[in-house]
Structure 1
């Protein structure tokens, strides 16, 4: 129940490892959120084994601090028993207060395991318009939704006003930004099977790109920081939590950012305290920050464009000292400070621990392995541990007790493992267009609905499929609602929805054929069962899967399944296009991976210049039990040629 009189949003601090967890406790966080060593959307973090997390959770609870566990990756079909067991352990052994989830199977498995804590829908769930909230509350029993970072304050207020009883909202106030909308980015997966939806993103957006004679890190984002603008969130009692991103960060970052936002929440009207809080944020060793879209009248680009967007505080630049690289730091360095020399994708990059204290303007010889950094290479301070913080962490660590988890298994039956016969349906092929084609077509016709004007919509018939976009923004939701109503009134009966929550845009679903599209990221039978319960008559599975997963899912599904077998799938969709990037012109990575950007209905789509092509495996997929085969037709811009290269995506490499 939301307390509107004594509203005080929780400060959620990130913890990627034990030291950061204890730093969050030392800073006075209200909640610490963290992940296990599997099924975490930050697999590059240290993360926790269940036994270690149990001891830390017991200590946190003694201090009056809650612990939320992010079990927030895509779940493959063969992983259902493992996830069920982990949910059981987190509830019965660890005592987690909430699970943060992306995959809807985890919601169902939590119910099967009798999990007593709360269920929170991750920002990866892409809940981007207010009408979705009632559906999520009633159909899933989720008690909190984490809002997208792309929202501006007016959209946040509209979401808060529409929040149903028993549900609350959580907003990010500080930390890393992704260029692509969370849950709608396949960039890393396209480049070799390292999926962001599985927590393994290799961050291709942070590379240097070229377009014509221009070059820059155009898609590499600054850090998001609401900082002093958090005062605009305080009057919204439905916003019950302020979240700090940073599970890959060290204890210094966690302590400083948590302390700063506590100060801004509790004493943000005091000019001196506000100034001190901003000083803490400057010393947190993150990236340069931006307010991004938070103020709609003063939006800022999320990316640094021509600036560097690496984390850390500039400590100085490499100088030559008798032929050896050296640093004369701008500030004092302490023993154990971690320095980053240069950039990861540039020669001479390395990490270095400071062996002993160095005064400001002193001298530190940089003993590096490999290529010697050139003179002028920037050096950044990216992590440190002050004596006072180390003492606080040590004192808290001394309070930990040994609390190993017993080996436990859930008594609930493995419903996902039962082999179901998919609903009978003759195989059908569908080609999806941006505008309706003329003349007879060899396949069924799909058509992307657009707010810019449904070209050819007057020629619609009940057999054609209408596709909704991967994201419906809150500021456009009423227009999308009106468009859907108009299409149904005109006789449209077959729709593909690219977020599960888009089903709430339909005033009625009877006599409609509603399918969950590929951007719904469905990858196992349990989550598909949840969608069937919500009213979906079919599901197009995630395009990121490998052949082993494709083979298993039809036997677990209660509804017919589809699969994208060819066409132009985007690297990602985003809300903004970086200023230097020209629309419909190729840009290239250092590895000559080419793509272009297009704008459609409030979204920027980044398309690679090669296509997904599983057509050589279509007969196999039909034997597996798939009934709907999708071809995404998209004409490249003038002057752009589609390259002929293998388009099997993760078919052979699988999805680790």
Structure 2
């Protein structure tokens, strides 16, 4: 019997030093982003020429390079994205592209990319039946959601078709909301997580029932010794470390730790060394989250520090005005980066240490401008360039310098866009989408959210005329319930289903033969190429993501091969999560320092987070009709008795645009 192939250790890199640190630590593959179309736009990221040299260096050492082109693609960006992929093909030759947008996958094929396509966790393949269709879309790997337990990962692995491998996160930052199902930052003003611009409102301070806390700020994921269980799942071929915004110190120590845990899972000394490396990786307090089904852990702990980095001490006022003293609880080295406080606190800043400070010593800091920190503000060590690490990186840096820079040559790319549908006269349809419809009032077509917990309230007697909306996330432990409920709806004549993800077609009997599928707004469809892929899959129509600017929303119907709908009114969620802090009560207000109110409500096994003001594009409906939209959805959400609706409404990104 041959020994099962070990999963690769997949390291993050947001800058050249982090890339070299990954090589020095023995990573099998490195994933990184470019300065465009990366879901970590706040990382430094790479130019093509810079990455070409690093990829060549890595290839010479048997290390693969994966490039994340994993943002939502706007309607007019196909040509730009295609030129970028062609440059990657010509100069970098990455072994894989990580994408979340079906339009980018289509562009990669058109641009002549022959390597692997990996479907990002942002695409949210969250239940086993969704995996079957991925090889047909040219995907060789799916990145699993971070919320899954090891038992659920095993279910996913058993359902994976031949030729499709899986990738699991083992370490790094956790988002409160499910990846690809968070609109919080975008709803507050155009900076979307799906475009790599998230401003992390979940990390902020909120007030709930008179008490302030960081109720949505998660600890970091760290599976450490528990990764031994993943070695029994051969379909999981990669252990992914999150952290493209982290420095080389973090990358080196995290990679070295998981390499030990993979290669010597039963060696006590190796596990001890790995634990030591992880303690030095400068992250937040850690959790194994849902990994152990029998002992899940809530990643939100308001009693734990929420700031990233190793606690390095606290500030006290110095002898002179503007002077502060940091009493170091760890030794500090020249070049270390220390973050004071957290981002939404007055006086927050990052400082560079200029001299060695022993543990227990004192570092004096002077701030001549900006808000002054408060006495007692915590300090965190977030990056360091210790000599031992730089000595390991040094030879690699020298080897990199010998690789001649590739001349940037212009490339041309003309995307083959799908043929737009003929715009015949269609009477626009407005539907309200309800949790609990009042059947006495609903005379015409309307929409209903499909819920396994409220199946007895579903209007099955009118199944043929209802638009049935599936939730944006279906978890493995509820998939069979949804399969049974959907079969019941179809047997009663249910015809039209609005899917929360394209992969939800697998929930239907016989793959949905005889059923009309519409891609729902949570499929994050924003460009004609993605619409072309849906048409190829047999979809009857699509609701466009309301994240787009008004200009982009109005431009898309003329380019679309499918009939389009849009959410133009109602309660759009800030995000969906699998957890809620034990200190937060559902259906009760949570208030930000800017008096932004929100609340959480649980449907089936997922928490939905809503703002206390609705989106409203009603005044633009005539323009949207003229542009070609034929279905207008109003998402009606029951308002809890303790929530007061604000007078304001949101135009989402209609005016401000989507960055």
**Taking structure 2 as the reference length, what is the TM-score of the superposition?**
0.97
- Go from structure 1 to structure 2 and tell me whether the alpha carbon gap of 1:21 and 1:235 turns closer, same or farther (over 3 Å shift): same
SS in 2 for 1:429: strand
Does the 8 A contact of 1:230 with 1:264 survive in 2?
Answer: yes
Equivalent position of 1:579 in the other structure: 582
2-side partners of 1:11 and 1:407: how far apart? 33
Equivalent position of 1:557 in the other structure: 560
Cα distance, 1:130 vs structure 2 = 0.9
2-side partners of 1:290 and 1:367: how far apart? 36
SS in 2 for 1:172: strand
Does the 8 A contact of 1:29 with 1:258 survive in 2?
Answer: yes
User: Which of 315, 319, 335 in structure 2 is aligned with 1:318?
Assistant: 315
User: For residues 496-519 of structure 1, what are the alpha-carbon distances to aligned partners after superposition, in whole Å with 9 as ceiling and x for unaligned?
Assistant: 101110111122433322100000
1-side partners of 2:412 and 2:292: how far apart? 47
Does the 8 A contact of 1:431 with 1:443 survive in 2?
Answer: no
Equivalent position of 2:221 in the other structure: 224
Alignment of 1:129-208 (within 5 A): 129-138=127-136, 140-208=137-205
User: Are 1:361 and 2:384 counterparts?
Assistant: no
User: How many residues are aligned here?
Assistant: 652
Equivalent position of 2:448 in the other structure: 447
User: Are 1:469 and 2:471 counterparts?
Assistant: yes
User: Are 1:110 and 2:112 counterparts?
Assistant: no
- Go from structure 1 to structure 2 and tell me whether the alpha carbon gap of 1:352 and 1:108 turns closer, same or farther (over 3 Å shift): same
Does the 8 A contact of 2:20 with 2:397 survive in 1?
Answer: yes
**Taking structure 1 as the reference length, what is the TM-score of the superposition?**
0.97
Equivalent position of 2:3 in the other structure: 5
Equivalent position of 2:26 in the other structure: 28
1-side partners of 2:407 and 2:545: how far apart? 34
1-side partners of 2:273 and 2:429: how far apart? 63
Equivalent position of 1:503 in the other structure: 505
SS in 2 for 1:77: coil
2-side partners of 1:590 and 1:440: how far apart? 40
2-side partners of 1:482 and 1:456: how far apart? 14
Cα distance, 1:440 vs structure 2 = 4.2
User: For residues 116-154 of structure 1, what are the alpha-carbon distances to aligned partners after superposition, in whole Å with 9 as ceiling and x for unaligned?
Assistant: 10000000000001111111122x020000000000011
Does the 8 A contact of 1:319 with 1:327 survive in 2?
Answer: yes
Please say which of residues 321-330 and 533-542 is displaced more in the overlay.
321-330
Equivalent position of 1:213 in the other structure: 210
SS in 1 for 2:231: coil
SS in 2 for 1:273: helix
- 5+ long unaligned stretches in structure 2: none
Calculate the aligned-residue CA RMSD, in Å: 1.5
Alignment of 1:512-523 (within 5 A): 512-523=515-526
User: Which of 245, 258, 264 in structure 2 is aligned with 1:267?
Assistant: 264
Equivalent position of 2:380 in the other structure: 380
- 5+ long unaligned stretches in structure 1: none
Alignment of 1:243-258 (within 5 A): 243-258=240-255
Does the 8 A contact of 2:192 with 2:198 survive in 1?
Answer: yes
Does the 8 A contact of 1:217 with 1:308 survive in 2?
Answer: no
2-side partners of 1:74 and 1:465: how far apart? 26
Does the 8 A contact of 2:418 with 2:561 survive in 1?
Answer: no
User: Are 1:330 and 2:332 counterparts?
Assistant: no
Does the 8 A contact of 1:94 with 1:405 survive in 2?
Answer: no
SS in 1 for 2:275: helix
2-side partners of 1:423 and 1:351: how far apart? 58
Cα distance, 1:583 vs structure 2 = 0.6
> Structure 1 runs of 4+ off > 4 angstroms?
417-420
User: For residues 237-282 of structure 1, what are the alpha-carbon distances to aligned partners after superposition, in whole Å with 9 as ceiling and x for unaligned?
Assistant: 1000000000000000000000000010001211111011011001
Cα distance, 1:373 vs structure 2 = 2.3
2-side partners of 1:82 and 1:121: how far apart? 21
2-side partners of 1:395 and 1:356: how far apart? 26
Cα distance, 1:393 vs structure 2 = 2.0
Does the 8 A contact of 1:422 with 1:559 survive in 2?
Answer: no
1-side partners of 2:99 and 2:472: how far apart? 19
User: Which of 516, 523, 532 in structure 2 is aligned with 1:529?
Assistant: 532
2-side partners of 1:355 and 1:258: how far apart? 28
SS in 1 for 2:573: coil
Equivalent position of 2:77 in the other structure: 79
2-side partners of 1:379 and 1:604: how far apart? 33
User: Are 1:119 and 2:121 counterparts?
Assistant: no
Cα distance, 1:232 vs structure 2 = 0.2
SS in 2 for 1:358: coil
2-side partners of 1:119 and 1:4: how far apart? 28
SS in 2 for 1:328: strand
1-side partners of 2:425 and 2:260: how far apart? 60
Equivalent position of 1:339 in the other structure: 338
2-side partners of 1:449 and 1:22: how far apart? 49
User: Are 1:69 and 2:72 counterparts?
Assistant: no
2-side partners of 1:123 and 1:529: how far apart? 22
User: For residues 184-229 of structure 1, what are the alpha-carbon distances to aligned partners after superposition, in whole Å with 9 as ceiling and x for unaligned?
Assistant: 0000001111000000000000001101212110100100011000
Equivalent position of 1:46 in the other structure: 44
Equivalent position of 2:434 in the other structure: 433
2-side partners of 1:634 and 1:416: how far apart? 37
Does the 8 A contact of 1:598 with 1:605 survive in 2?
Answer: yes
User: Are 1:421 and 2:418 counterparts?
Assistant: no
